[in-house]
Amino acid sequence: MVQLYKRVFGRGPGRASTHFAGPNTIICTLEGSFTPAERAMAELGEHQRLRETRLMFQHAREDDFRETVARITGRRVRAFVSGTDTHEDVSCEVYYLEPDGDAATKAADVVDE
């Protein structure tokens, strides 16, 4: 995600972490990724405009985000959700993966118990 952010936004985050949230969901948290122009928008109180601009770019490059996760995991990304807290410069990318046969079976077993 750090490399992808650098390529898409021209600047990578200061901190990033990625975790599975269950067998078919990945959450990437990125902090300190605003460009100087985005930081200026936040300082001017243009938080809604900043959210809209960031979201537009993230979804304009949605295929890049999906392809990166699919390549790394070997699984199809079924859904992609992106969000940004413009007051704290924290973003998240959430990926819902197509269930993996073994993982889906194990998850179903846990639910049934």
Give me the helix-helix angle, 62-73 and 47-60, nearest 10°.
Answer: 60
Domain count, the chain: 1
The residue range of the domain holding 9 is 2-112
Q: How far is residue 110's CA from residue 108's CA, in Å, rounded to a whole number?
A: 5
Contacts of 53 (CB under 8 A, 6+ apart): 38, 41
| Confidence (pTM) | 0.82
> Per-residue confidence of the chain (113 residues) as pLDDT tens digits?
888 888 888 888 999 999 999 999 999 999 999 999 999 999 999 999 999 998 898 889 999 999 999 999 999 999 999 999 999 999 999 999 999 866 544 444 444 44
Q: Give, for 83, the enclosing helix (H) or strand (E).
A: strand 77-85
